Structure formats: C-alpha cells, structure tokens
Structure 1
C-alpha cells in the first residue's frame, strides 16, 4: 500500500479516536459541572468555578491524548515504510556485481583500517572476492601511507554481506545488516523526535 494511502487511513482512524476521546472527556466534564452546580447552589460559586477549571483541564488532556495516539500511529506507519526501504536496500547491496562489491569493501577497509587488522568475511564469498582480495586491500592501504599487514579469516556463517575488522578483541562490524540497522535506528529516532517534538515541548512548559 502506498505511503499516501497509509497516512490517509491513519488520519481517518485518528479522527475517529479523537472524537471518541473527546466525547468521553466531554461527558466527564459535564458530569463534574452538573455535580458542582448542585453543590454550588448550597455552598456558593467557588465549587462551580473550580469545576469549570477541572472541565477545561479534562478536555485539554483529552485533546493531548488524541494527538499523541495519532502521532504514535504515524510513527508506526513510517517505521514500517522505513523497514521496507531498508530491506530493499539490503537486497540491492547483496545483488551487486562482484567487481563493484569487491571495490566497495576495499574502499571501506581503506577508510576504517590502519593495516594491522584481521579481515573477517564469509566463506561463501571467498570465490566472489577472489584470492587477491586482501593483497589488493593491503596495496591500497600502503598507497595511503598506512601499514599493509591485513590478514584474512573466513567465517563459516554467512554475515549478510560486508565484513568485520578485528583489532585484538575489538570488532568493527561493517556487515551490511549492521550498517543498515544503525542507519535505520538513527532515522527512526529522528522521525520520532520530529513527530513528538511539539508534545515534548508542551510537557516541558507545563
């Protein structure tokens, strides 16, 4: 379903939820006002004024709840779309031509390695990357003024594409799933912050 259709359905559902919340809040507020009016006739106008304030507060809270639920629904929809986009991105990365894939990994190594690490790649990709993969990576590092003493280890498990750099006990996870997961988490946080910014500001003011 296109994003526009998802958002339209959310708007419709949010409007329905908002109406239900406001109706319940209005009924509660009217009940308080009615009760206050009955007591106020005997005790003066103070109770009635307090009831009006409580009624206004109830409606304000109801509106905030409705808006919060709407934003939560929007967030969940956008997260679903983000997941779909990143799943497609992962598939495209895995479908790269072997030479393009090899060059991408060597480029990552040249930017992240100092030349003394162990490069861990999937056993399944040994043939795709070629026997000269580490030699080419080491040569690239030397051309950049770094050490060219990388070694290679093959993981029997499929890493999902990409590689892992190991420096002693420190692992630098440059596999496709890990990189996309970090990007996805950052994007989801950014979207959540954007959607709930007004609510957070309102809470800080109150």
Structure 2
C-alpha cells in the first residue's frame, strides 16, 4: 500500500467521520432546538394559563367590589329614606293642632300612668293650650295633679313631666328616637318590600 493510498484512506475515513460527527451534531442541535421550542411552548402555555387565572381573579375582585359598592349605596339610600320617614313623622307630630295635642297629652299621661303632684312643661307655643280645664281633666282621668311649669326651650315640642326630681320625657324627638329601634324593621319592610 502506498503512502498516497494510505493518505487517501485516512482522508476518506476522516471525511466519513467528519460527516458522521456533523450529522450527529446536526441531530443533537435539532433535538436541542426542538426541546427548547417545546419548553418555551410549555412555558408559554403556563404563562398564558397564569395570566388568565390572574385576570379571572382580578375580574372577580372588581365585580365583588362593585357589588359591595352597589349594596352599600342601596343601604345608604334605604337608610336615608328611613331617616326621612322618621323626620316626616316628627314634623307631623309637631304640626298637631291644639285639639290633637291635648288628646295626645292626655293619652300619653294615661299610658305612662303618671299620678301625683308634678310640673307639666310644654313649649311656649303650646302653653296657651294648657288651661285650668285641661289640667282638671288630666287630674280626673289620671290622678295626676299637674301645674304648668317652665316652658321647654327652642323648638322642642311635646311635653315633659317633672315629679320628685324625675323627668318623664315625652318630647316628640324623644318619642321618635325611642320608637326608632323598635320600628325600623317594620318601616324597612313596608318601604322596601
């Protein structure tokens, strides 16, 4: 065998080996590229899934917050209507005419079972209604011996009875406030059902 043949054989074997190595490298590169593409695709799917989940969670929070705001606004509006209803009732009480006020006074003193000596305080606008005849009627109906006391201040309406250091407050504001807790459920039911 000649040197040329050996050299050709070595070159031929080297080319074959080079082609094999190149083919293997190309195969490995293709496998690596495909693996990275699959990995990227998998991460893309995970990122998309995570983004969708975050978007759904954010959407849910936004909807819940909106529902809470709407509920709070409804409650606020209902509360305002209820307050206006009680204000309206108070105004109606303040607008009682003389006969209605005297009737209210007699019924309230009877209902509170007020008896004995005491002072009856009304606002200055109602004082002229409390005649000797009205006081006599109260004594006859209830056993309460009341004299007209110092007038109530400001625009307070209704009456207060003072006996032995105790005040029985029947001002309209006081009556509305005391009934508010008991009646709020019924008023809500009537107004909003």
TM-score range, shorter chain: 0.5 to 0.7
Is the 2:161–2:167 contact (alpha carbons within 8 Å) kept by the matching residues of 1?
yes
Compute the RMSD of aligned alpha carbons. 3.7
> 2:150 matched to which residue of 1?
154
Give the C-alpha shift of residue 155 in structure 1. 1.7
Is the 1:120–1:164 contact (alpha carbons within 8 Å) kept by the matching residues of 2?
yes
TM-score normalised by length of structure 1: 0.53
Deviation string 1:14-71 (CA, Å, 9 cap, x unpaired) is: xxxxxxxxxxxxxxxxxxxxxxxx9x94xxx8x9999887766655444332222112
> 1:166 matched to which residue of 2?
162
1:166 & 1:51 partners in 2: Cα distance? 73
1:175 & 1:74 partners in 2: Cα distance? 32
**Are the structure 2 counterparts of residues 114 and 51 from structure 1 closer, same or farther at C-alpha, using a change threshold of 3 Å?**
farther
Is the 1:119–1:151 contact (alpha carbons within 8 Å) kept by the matching residues of 2?
yes
1:137 & 1:168 partners in 2: Cα distance? 19
Gaps of 5+ in 1: 1-37, 143-147, 196-206
TM-score normalised by length of structure 2: 0.56
The structure with the largest alpha-carbon Rg is 2
**Are the structure 2 counterparts of residues 156 and 104 from structure 1 closer, same or farther at C-alpha, using a change threshold of 3 Å?**
closer
2:69 & 2:186 partners in 1: Cα distance? 17
Deviation string 1:145-203 (CA, Å, 9 cap, x unpaired) is: xxx33343132524532111334444332111222234445528985xxx9xxxxxxxx
Within 5 Å, which residues of 2 pair with 1:94-173?
A: 94-116=94-116, 117-142=118-143, 148-155=144-151, 157-173=153-169
Is the 1:121–1:159 contact (alpha carbons within 8 Å) kept by the matching residues of 2?
no
> 1:65 matched to which residue of 2?
65
1:84 paired with 2:84, answer: yes
Is the 2:127–2:151 contact (alpha carbons within 8 Å) kept by the matching residues of 1?
no
Gaps of 5+ in 2: 1-39
**Are the structure 2 counterparts of residues 131 and 154 from structure 1 closer, same or farther at C-alpha, using a change threshold of 3 Å?**
farther
1:190 & 1:57 partners in 2: Cα distance? 39
2:127 & 2:150 partners in 1: Cα distance? 8
Give the C-alpha shift of residue 127 in structure 1. 0.7
**Are the structure 2 counterparts of residues 112 and 49 from structure 1 closer, same or farther at C-alpha, using a change threshold of 3 Å?**
farther
Aligned residues: 147
1:178 paired with 2:167, answer: no
Deviation string 1:95-123 (CA, Å, 9 cap, x unpaired) is: 32312210111100111133134322123
